Amino acid sequence: MDTTNTKNRTLAGIPIKPMFYCEEIGLWLFQCDCIRLMDYLIEFYPEGVFDMIFADPPYFLSNGGITCYAGRMVLVNKGEWDRSKGVEENHHFNIEWLSRCQKLLKPNGTIWVSGTYHVIFSVGFAMQQLGMKILNDITWEKPNPPPNLSCRYFTHSTETIIWAAKDAKSKHTFNYGIMRQMSGGKQMKTVWRIPAPDRKEKIFGKHPTQKPVKLLERIILASTNETDIVFDPFMGSGTTGVAAINLKRRFIGCELEKVYSEIAIKRIQKVIETLYEQRRIF
């Protein structure tokens, strides 16, 4: 596919205008409901357009419980967008957005979805219902998780990331050599020990489920090539976009909440400015 043509059609073809874009590097950020955006994109790209999708959907865990943050007891209340509407409705939501992602993947494209036990089992079941091919389940281990204040459970220290292909016929990209090199010359295992985002990644603000850039860079390196198009329907503070730009991939991101959209713009603008300073624009 001609990526230049893709850029122009994406900007001109849909009625939702990006809140920020840079055609030179192939980046567009939208603030809107991701299902609405994907419905428009499906009309223009019925055969699929994205090489890879990373999604960090709502975990539905804002239930008034408690957790530990910076040594203090705080309520688990990330926002109305994270509040559970019941098991059946939560699962229906997962099928709705996943089915659209599946349509927008190219025939050999893949999707990565992150979550805790609150949502990830529903996601995996929905993938199977839709006929996706599950390739791996990655365990992201956090070296310094917050303690469990109730002392009635094990400390939550991991998240699961499911990697799946569009369907059983897909011939997915896997950059085995790069992953083996990153793993010291051995096959990379499915347990990834990566620290949570540091302060440098939160200088413009923070998102309650923000992922580290290092995690997204590994995902993107594993399953895409330079100039491929990456999509994130729940962009949050823009980590996927930062990683994609760093690795010379095109990126389209969508975020519903204005406050996080503004953080994402600031972060990505900073990355673009750095690329221009280093003359690394592609």
Looking at the domain 3-277, which fold is it? Rossmann fold (3.40.50)
What pLDDT does 65 receive? 54
- Residue type at 219? I
Distances (CA, A) of 272 to 2, 44, 134, 141: 23, 28, 34, 30
Cα first-last separation, the chain: 17
- Give 183-227 pLDDT, tens digit per residue: 999 999 999 999 999 999 999 998 888 999 999 999 999 999 999
> Higher model confidence: residue 74 or residue 39?
39
Kindly report which listed range (25-34, 253-262, 270-279) carries the lowest average pLDDT score.
270-279
Instruction: Tell me the two tokens of residue 87.
Output: 């098991």
> CA–CA separation, 251 vs 253, rounded Å?
6
> CA–CA separation, 98 vs 53, rounded Å?
10
> Higher model confidence: residue 129 or residue 83?
129
- Give 102-148 pLDDT, tens digit per residue: 999 999 999 999 999 989 999 999 999 999 999 999 999 999 888 88
In the chain, domain spans: 3-277
pLDDT interval class at 170 (50, 70, 90)? very high
- Give 14-54 pLDDT, tens digit per residue: 788 999 999 989 999 999 999 999 999 999 999 999 999 99
* pTM summary value: 0.88
